[in-house]
Amino acid sequence: MTTTTQPSGRAAMTARKDAAQGRSMPGMWRAGLARSGVELKAFFRNKQSLIFTLLFPVLLLLVFGSIFSGTVKGTQTDVKQVFMAGIIAAGVMSTAFSGLAISIAIERDTGTIRRLGIAPMPKSAYFVGKLVRAVVTAVLETVLLVGIAVVLFGLPLPSTATRWATLGWDLGLGTVACSLIAVAYSALIPNSRSAAAIVTPVFMVLQFISGVFFPFNQLPSWMQGVAALFPVKWMAQGFRSVFLPDSFAAVEPAGSWELGRIALLLALWALGGAVLSALTFRWRGPRVN
């Protein structure tokens, strides 16, 4: 389980004292920058966060990368390379969805969210901090996974500027979408003790049905249809277009990479996550059973 410790109680007391003395509320960007620093320090100081969020996908990469062999049916593409492109999407989900949703549940139990809610700071700064944390950790996770895949398993780096650009927007849109979904999904978590049990099954199931562990074209058609409803499938497809040869697009469900559709759907998931977060997020403390 991911845990987090944050000096928000003292910060909230200081903010209330400043308000009582007539000092103005800090601007959103200044407060967001300060909150981002708190989020990153809390994450990197917590060994459990680092192990569960960052190193779990690395462990999956090492284990499954050592097991897989052969080529995908109907192509000359190594199964390992297909898996490694997919595990990057799982890494983004680990940092931006699982880690974030669990940390919000813990902050609610410790009273951090309630104290920040009454502090005289722009409430948007809290979400800016969460997004910055998610983006920084997702980029770090991606660099880590790609580096290991290239060095140990021969994954080729993107060969053109266009592919590098696709890697950038796929990673960015996917991270924002997963982060905002995590904020909304945290409303379903009653307390920090049950957080991992509620978040982890979703994380694992979406990996299995989204083409991470198995080539997507080899999954049952009904499973492909379910996976297409969620962003992980589209992230993984975008990453395949970056690292795999263009000939592999022939075995994708539409017979092409569908990059425009990927960008549109990830953007819609980000927008939907933002709306759901606004509707469901509450500045409250722990639930009383």
Q: Report mean pLDDT in 10-residue bins for the chain, 289 residues.
A: 45 47 62 86 81 86 90 89 92 92 92 87 89 94 94 92 97 96 94 92 93 90 94 96 94 94 97 95 74
Q: What's the rounded Cα separation, in Å, for the pair 222 and 234?
A: 16
At 36 the pLDDT is 87
d(CA 213, CA 215): 7
Query: Rounded to the nearest 5°, which phi and psi values hold at 71?
Result: -115, 160
| pLDDT at position 288 | 54
- Residue 22: predicted pLDDT: 44
The answer to whether 143 and 40 have CB atoms below 8 angstroms apart is: no
Amino acid at 108: R
Q: Which residues contact 121 (CB under 8 A, 6 or more apart)?
A: 15, 25, 26, 31, 35
Q: Are 59 and 144 in contact (CB under 8 A)?
A: no
d(CA 25, CA 18): 8
> What's the rounded Cα separation, in Å, for the pair 235 and 207?
11
- Confidence (pLDDT) at 45: 84
CA distance 187 to 255: 38
pLDDT for position 62: 93
Give Dmax (Cα) for the chain: 72
Q: How far apart are CA 253 and CA 259, in angstroms?
A: 13
pTM: 0.86
Q: Which of 104, 88, 125 is nearest to 235 (CA)?
A: 88
Ranges of H-type helices in 186-255 = 195-209, 221-227, 231-243
How many alpha carbons lie under 13 Å from residue 146 in its C-beta half-sphere? 18
pLDDT at 121: 79
